[in-house]
Structure 1
Amino acid sequence: MPKPETIEQFIAMVESNEHDKAIEKFYTIDASMQENQSEPRVGRDNLVANEKNTLQKVKSLVSKCIRPYFMNGDQVVIRWYFRFEWKNGTISEIEEIAYQNWQEELIKSEKFFYDPKQFTSM
């Protein structure tokens, strides 16, 4: 079970737009991430590479935890707001729910729930 301080550190790192560094620091080596019903991506190195690839396409990014987050044992649920200004000049605003399974102080698996229509650029 993660300590509340650990969750706060994770949230602070994401809100600082250090998404790739947050994965390196807070995910197990064999962690997985899943977008809605898509196939999960597996392995911390793969997750970091995918995040870096996404961040390279971003001109500016706002990342915000919409509090409160919820914790029950090893399960943590965080509601996020993201605003992407892409290098191609388009903007995407999304809200998502991240459902995390922690293994002690690290995230073992995470599943994101969001409406994919939110990625339709403005």
Structure 2
Amino acid sequence: MPSRTRVEEFIAVVLSGRHDEAIERFYAEDASMQENLNPPRVGRDLLATQERATMAKYARIDTELRGPIFIEGDIVVINWLFRFTDAEGTSFTIDEIAYQQWQGDLIHRERFYYDPGQVKKK
């Protein structure tokens, strides 16, 4: 079960824009991430590599914490708002819920819930 302090440390790294570092520091070696109903991706190294590839596509990724953080035993629920902006200044925003299952002080499973229609560039 993660401490509130550990979860807040994770959130601080994500809010600072170091999304790949958050994966490297706070996810278990065999962690998985799942986007909505897509198949999960497994393995911290793969997750960090894919995160760096996503980050490289955009000139900016601004991250905001929305609402309270819910912690109940090994379950943590976070509402994030991400704004992705490309080199031309075109952007889109994703408002998502991250449902995390922790083992000790590391994230073991994470599933993201969001409307895929938000990914349309505006």
TM over 0.5: yes
Say whether 1:21 aligns with 2:8.
no
Distance in 2 (CA, whole Å) between partners of 1:86 and 1:10 is: 25
> Whole-Å Cα distance in 2 between the matches of residues 47 and 89 of structure 1?
26
Asked if 1:52 is matched to 2:52, the reply is yes
Per-residue Cα deviation, 1:13-67 (whole angstroms, up to 9, x for no partner): 0000000000000000000000000000000000000000000011012101113
Counterparts of 2:15 and 2:67, CA distance in 1: 12
- The farther-off stretch of 61-70 and 39-48 is 61-70
2:78 aligns with 78
Identical pairs, percent: 50
Tell me the alpha carbon deviations over residues 76-120 of structure 1, each in whole angstroms, 9 at most, x when there is no partner.
000000111023542011100000000000000000000000000
**1:69 maps onto 2:74 in alignment:** no
Q: How many residues align?
A: 122
> Does residue 7 of structure 1 match 2:40?
no
Match of 1:108 in 2: 108
Structure 1 CA distance for aligned equivalents of residues 43 and 88 of structure 2: 30
User: Within 5 A, what are the aligned runs for 1:33-44?
Assistant: 33-44=33-44
List alignment gaps of at least 5 residues for structure 1.
Answer: none
- Distance in structure 1 (CA, Å) of the matches to 2:121 and 2:55: 16
Q: Which runs of 5+ in 2 are unaligned?
A: none
SS at match of 1:51: helix
DSSP 3-state at the match of 1:63: strand
Instruction: Give me the TM-score of the superposition, normalised by structure 2.
Output: 0.97
Alpha-carbon RMSD: 0.8
